[in-house]
Amino acid sequence: MAKRKSEEPLESHVEGFSPPPPSKKVRIEDVPEESTITAIGTSDDEPRPQRTRLNGADGANAPMRDDHDQNSADDDDDAPPIAPLRQSAPTEGYNDLYLDTVNRSLLDFDFEKLCSVTLSNINVYACLVCGKYFQGRGPKSIAYFHALEVDHHVYISLETQKVYVLPEGYEVHNKSLDDIKYVADPRFTEDDVKKLDKEVKECTDLGNKRYRPGFMGMNNIKANDYLNVVVQTLAHIAPLRNFFLLHRFPLTTPQLPVRTSTLIRKLWNSRAFRSHVSPHELLQEIALRSSKRFTLTHQSDPVEFLSWFLNNLHLALGGSKTKPLSSIIQRTFQGKLRVESQAITAKSDTTGDRLRFEESSNITTNVSPYLILTLDLPPVPLFRDAVESKNIIPQVPLTSLLQKYNGISASEKQAHRIRHRLLHPLPPYLFFHIKRFSVNKFVSERNPTIVTFPSPRGLDMSPYVEPNPALHPPGEPIHYEMVANIILDTTSVSTGGGEDSNAADAANKAVGGDGQKFAWKVQLRDKAAAVSQKSNVPEWLEIQDLWVERAEAETLFTREGYLMVWERKREKPKATNGTQKGKARA
């Protein structure tokens, strides 16, 4: 081949000229199916790299591209990644794929259902390998990228309890996952509920720790023991417990009763992975609804929280503010109380040197509903006798405190003399709040007086109720027995009062004085143990956060009781003429 002169153009000298190769960003997927591949070489011993025609079947004008250019285009970072194939069903023969990666010891469904990345509560899934919460399962979701990044493939919907495999996206139907679905959302039948107070169940968790359903410990995240004792108490009030165990809430129901129901069902779960539960999900909702009045970081009064909790549950369940007994809350705890108020005036006598207090003849009577009855303790003696031990810790019978509601004893409040009287019918359950704290702008005091009662199985409320023959025969007793007792446990600690002091200590100081830290405990009656053993002596368990231990019925009154729950006993049918039986009284 003759050498080309410098003044001659390249096009006239080279046969089969081809223009420079196109840019690397040419999309290979746009190549038509009729494209051809040709090999061009100058000699047999010096082959040229292959080139690909990119446009059309006309090979004369089609541009060429070398193979090394094609390889570099494939390695370009701008090329979109190939997404895994989505499937509507698992591949035949691989129905249990990835199920061996599920780690039950890391699963915890007690936390609030929020995505750990976006903090959204919409369409949240839990990874069954690491236990974390993620949002969505589509190709652009957080859970999808988590599956690709760390190779975790099994996820459960926290709303529907359906299990999916990602990134393929198909649903898993395998009975080996039923225990996980049940732990995420325990369900009870009517037969299960009927056995709760009749049969004693001893269960074990994944760590082989034994626990009793219904008497499980609750995690104290920081200072939420005031909520733990209230929830434990409500979980053992049979009508309320059965309602939350069996009721199916619609999607439009507020979250407060829904999360309460979830926590109570987990407390009675006999197939739990852990021997304790956490109230974190309910606490977050309570902090939101109460405008952070009740949180997990600040200690609060259990009675104040119980009052707020019952009223908000009543409204969330569709209860009315004016119509009585319009929800399960009021049907269980609400009663009527008559309050008489009489003004006290002061007048000077004839000499003008003395004041004479006279009672007004006008008496104002008001009938109001109640959920909690307050019992006032007598003042602590100013001077204590160091010789007689009975005066070191004052004691008062419960019946003496109940004289406040006999309609005769009066108390003075803001220049008025007030009398209280309970009215028929009494509610199935009574809350007694023993008022131990008195707080003013100068000082806060705690009254350590012990409230005694003859027996937790026998309390006659008939002397404190206004007789009404239409509702209750006169002279017949109205027996109540104690179900739960929230007590106050005090421990002396040194509180510096600086910025590093615990928030719970600061709250404790606000209600009880310096140098005292309070812990709330609850004593619960074990009905199932007494029924299974056919014994009339009830058994009691004491729970403080995660600690559960036995308590003696004879020593219940030796603690500083703060809130008592008493259940009305059903009267046994009476025989008439030896053959017929009267109806049992509720």
Q: Where are the domains of the chain?
A: 24-38+47-80, 101-183, 187-586
Q: Which helix (H) or strand (E) holds 338?
A: strand 335-348
Output the pLDDT for position 199: 87
Judge contact between 408 and 419, C-beta under 8 A.
Answer: yes
Q: How confident is the model at residue 59 (pLDDT cuts 50, 70, 90)?
A: very low
Mean pLDDT on 26-49: 41
The token pair that represents 570 in the structure block: 């059903």
Over the chain, what is the mean pLDDT? 79
Pairing of strands 163-165, 154-157: antiparallel
> What distance in Å separates the CA atoms of residue 261 and residue 250, rounded to the nearest whole number?
13
Strand runs labelled E in 257-334: 276-277
CA atoms within 13 A on the CB side of 568: 19
Output the pLDDT for position 453: 82
Residue of higher predicted confidence among 414 and 101: 101
Output the pLDDT for position 10: 53
Segment of 95-99, 268-272, 494-498, 513-517 carrying the highest mean pLDDT: 268-272
pLDDT digits (tens, 9 = 90+) for 63-110: 444 444 444 444 544 555 555 677 777 777 667 789 999 999 999 999
Question: Alpha helix (H) ranges present in 362-449?
Answer: 398-401
> What distance in Å separates the CA atoms of residue 144 and residue 122, rounded to the nearest whole number?
15
Indicate the pTM of the whole model: 0.77
Q: Do 101-183 and 187-586 have matching folds?
A: no
Q: How confident is the model at residue 355 (pLDDT cuts 50, 70, 90)?
A: low
Output the pLDDT for position 529: 84
CB burial class (10 A; 0-12, 13-18, 19+) of residue 307? middle
Among 23-27, 75-79, 361-365, the minimum mean pLDDT is found in 23-27
Output the pLDDT for position 559: 85
* The domain made up of 187-586 is a member of CATH 3.40.47.10: no
Q: Would you give the end-to-end CA distance of the chain in angstroms? A: 119
- Three-class SS state of 373: strand
Mean pLDDT on 537-541: 84
**Class in CATH terms, 101-183:** alpha beta
Residue 359 has pLDDT above 70, yes or no: no
Output the pLDDT for position 502: 43
Q: Which residues contact 252 (CB under 8 A, 6 or more apart)?
A: none
Residue 227 has pLDDT above 90, yes or no: yes
Whether cis (ω within 30° of 0) applies to the bond prior to 454 is no
- Three-class SS state of 82: coil
Whether cis (ω within 30° of 0) applies to the bond prior to 167 is yes
- Three-class SS state of 59: coil
Pairing of strands 444-446, 437-439: antiparallel
Residue 498 has pLDDT above 60, yes or no: no
> What distance in Å separates the CA atoms of residue 337 and residue 464, rounded to the nearest whole number?
11
Judge contact between 292 and 276, C-beta under 8 A.
Answer: no
